Structure 1
Amino acid sequence: MLCLKKMPSIVDKSSVKMVCVDDFALRKRFSYGTVMINLENHRIVDMIPSRDTNDVCNWLKTFHNIEVISRDGAITYASAATNSHPDVIQISDRFHLIKGLSEVICKYIFREFPARVEIPLTESVTDEMKALYNTANRSLRIKFAHEKRREGLTISDIALLLHSSPKTIQKYLAIPEDQIPESKEIARERQHQLAIKQKEQEIKEAREMALAGYPIEQIASQMHRAHKTIQNYLNPDFSVTNGHYNVRIPRKLAPYENEVIKLRSQGLTYPQIHDIIYKKGYTGSVASLRMFMQKERTRMHEQNETEKPHSEYVQRKSLCQLVYKKLEDIGTITVKQYQEVLKKYPLLSELYTLTKDFCNVIFSKNPTKLDEWINAAQKYDIPELQTFMNGIKKDITAVKNGIIYSYNNGLAEGSVNKIKVIKRVMYGRNSFELLKAKVLFGELFHVKFN
Structure 2
Amino acid sequence: MDDFAFKKRYTYGSIMIDIDSHRIIDMINSRELEDVKEWLNTYKNLKVISRDGSLVYKNATSLAHPKAIQVSDRFHLLKNLTEYCKTYLKTKFNVNVTIDEIKECSAKKAEENQTQYLTLEAKWKEVNKLIESGIYKSLACKQFNLNIKTYNKLIKLSTEDLNNYFLNTLEKRQQIKREQKNLIINKARELNKEKYSLTKISEILGIDRRTVKKYIDPLHIPKYTRQGRLSILDEYKIEIKDMLSKGISIAAIYRVISGKGYKGSNSNLRHYCSKLKKEFNSNPQNFRKKIITIKRSILLRGVYKPLKSIHELDEKTIKIINKKYPFYIKIIELISKFKLLLKEKNVENLTNWIVEAKSLNNSYINSFINGIKRDIEAVKNSIKYEYNNGLAEGSINKLKVIKRIMYGRNSFEMLKNKVLYIESTRSFN
Equivalent residue, structure 1, for 2:43: 63
Equivalent residue, structure 2, for 1:313: 293
- Distance in 2 between residues matched to 1:76 and 1:320, nearest whole Å: 32
- Aligned pair in 2 of structure 1 residues 127, 51: CA closer, same or farther (>3 Å)? farther
Among 360, 378, 381, which residue is 1:398 paired with?
A: 378
- Aligned pair in 2 of structure 1 residues 399, 95: CA closer, same or farther (>3 Å)? same
Equivalent residue, structure 2, for 1:81: 61
Shift of 1:409: 0.6
State the one-letter code of the partner of 1:27: K
State the one-letter code of the partner of 1:165: N
Kept in 1: contact 2:102–2:290 (CA 8 A): no
- Distance in 1 between residues matched to 2:63 and 2:282, nearest whole Å: 65
- Distance in 1 between residues matched to 2:143 and 2:126, nearest whole Å: 12
Bigger shift: residues 194-203 or 94-103: 194-203
Is 1:423 aligned with 2:400?
no
| 3-state SS in 2 of match to 1:70 | strand
| 3-state SS in 2 of match to 1:348 | helix
Equivalent residue, structure 2, for 1:364: 344
| 3-state SS in 2 of match to 1:439 | helix
- Aligned pair in 2 of structure 1 residues 311, 440: CA closer, same or farther (>3 Å)? same
Per-residue CA deviation, residues 110-133 of structure 1 (Å, 9 max, x unaligned), is 011111111245999777777887
| 3-state SS in 2 of match to 1:322 | helix
Among 226, 241, 252, which residue is 1:196 paired with?
A: 252
Per-residue CA deviation, residues 75-125 of structure 1 (Å, 9 max, x unaligned), is 221122122222221111111111111111111110111111112459997
Kept in 1: contact 2:78–2:339 (CA 8 A): yes
- Distance in 1 between residues matched to 2:299 and 2:130, nearest whole Å: 44
| 3-state SS in 2 of match to 1:34 | strand
| 3-state SS in 1 of match to 2:426 | helix
- Distance in 1 between residues matched to 2:33 and 2:124, nearest whole Å: 77
Among 28, 42, 64, which residue is 2:8 paired with?
A: 28
Equivalent positions of 1:345-384 (< 5 A) are 345-384=325-364
| 3-state SS in 1 of match to 2:328 | helix
Is 1:165 aligned with 2:147?
yes
Equivalent positions of 1:97-246 (< 5 A) are 97-120=77-100, 140=117, 142=119, 146=123, 149=126, 156-157=138-139, 159-160=141-142, 165-168=147-150, 175=166, 193=249, 195-196=251-252
State the one-letter code of the partner of 2:252: I
- Distance in 1 between residues matched to 2:388 and 2:73, nearest whole Å: 5
- Aligned pair in 2 of structure 1 residues 27, 151: CA closer, same or farther (>3 Å)? farther
Kept in 2: contact 1:122–1:336 (CA 8 A): no
- Aligned pair in 2 of structure 1 residues 85, 147: CA closer, same or farther (>3 Å)? farther
Equivalent residue, structure 2, for 1:407: 387
- Aligned pair in 2 of structure 1 residues 142, 384: CA closer, same or farther (>3 Å)? farther
Equivalent residue, structure 2, for 1:10: none
- Distance in 1 between residues matched to 2:125 and 2:328, nearest whole Å: 45
Equivalent residue, structure 2, for 1:53: 33
Is 1:339 aligned with 2:316?
no
Shift of 1:149: 3.1
Size of the alignment, in residue pairs?
Answer: 323
- Distance in 2 between residues matched to 1:202 and 1:386, nearest whole Å: 46
Shift of 1:169: 6.8
Per-residue CA deviation, residues 242-295 of structure 1 (Å, 9 max, x unaligned), is xxxxxxxxxxxxxxxxxxxxxxxxxxxxxxxxxxxxxxxxxxxxxxxxxxxxxx
State the one-letter code of the partner of 2:27: M
Bigger shift: residues 354-363 or 144-153: 144-153
Shift of 1:72: 0.9
Equivalent residue, structure 2, for 1:441: 421
Bigger shift: residues 356-365 or 165-174: 165-174
- Aligned pair in 2 of structure 1 residues 99, 199: CA closer, same or farther (>3 Å)? farther
State the one-letter code of the partner of 2:393: E
| 3-state SS in 1 of match to 2:425 | helix
Kept in 1: contact 2:102–2:288 (CA 8 A): no
Shift of 1:338: 2.0
| 3-state SS in 2 of match to 1:427 | coil
- Distance in 2 between residues matched to 1:375 and 1:399, nearest whole Å: 16
Kept in 2: contact 1:314–1:337 (CA 8 A): no
Bigger shift: residues 146-155 or 406-415: 146-155
| 3-state SS in 1 of match to 2:289 | coil
Question: What's the RMSD between the two structures over aligned residues?
Answer: 4.1
State the one-letter code of the partner of 1:402: S
Shift of 1:199: 7.1
- Distance in 1 between residues matched to 2:288 and 2:371, nearest whole Å: 46
Is 1:386 aligned with 2:363?
no
| 3-state SS in 1 of match to 2:4 | strand
5+ residue gaps in structure 2?
132-136, 155-161, 172-243, 261-276
5+ residue gaps in structure 1?
1-20, 181-188, 205-296
Kept in 2: contact 1:92–1:399 (CA 8 A): yes
Per-residue CA deviation, residues 190-228 of structure 1 (Å, 9 max, x unaligned), is xx9565357779999xxxxxxxxxxxxxxxxxxxxxxxx
- Aligned pair in 2 of structure 1 residues 318, 158: CA closer, same or farther (>3 Å)? farther
Kept in 2: contact 1:120–1:340 (CA 8 A): no
State the one-letter code of the partner of 1:430: N
- Aligned pair in 2 of structure 1 residues 156, 384: CA closer, same or farther (>3 Å)? same
- Distance in 1 between residues matched to 2:360 and 2:389, nearest whole Å: 30
Kept in 2: contact 1:32–1:51 (CA 8 A): yes
State the one-letter code of the partner of 2:395: S
- Distance in 2 between residues matched to 1:385 and 1:100, nearest whole Å: 10
- Distance in 1 between residues matched to 2:396 and 2:125, nearest whole Å: 68
- Aligned pair in 2 of structure 1 residues 91, 310: CA closer, same or farther (>3 Å)? same
- Distance in 1 between residues matched to 2:125 and 2:418, nearest whole Å: 79
Shift of 1:376: 1.1
Kept in 1: contact 2:53–2:72 (CA 8 A): yes
Kept in 2: contact 1:159–1:165 (CA 8 A): yes
- Distance in 1 between residues matched to 2:252 and 2:27, nearest whole Å: 58
TM-score by length of 2: 0.64
| 3-state SS in 1 of match to 2:292 | strand
Equivalent residue, structure 2, for 1:432: 412
Q: Computing the radius of gyration over CA atoms, which structure comes out larger, 1 or 2?
A: 2
TM-score by length of 1: 0.61
Equivalent positions of 1:257-268 (< 5 A) are none
Kept in 2: contact 1:70–1:91 (CA 8 A): yes
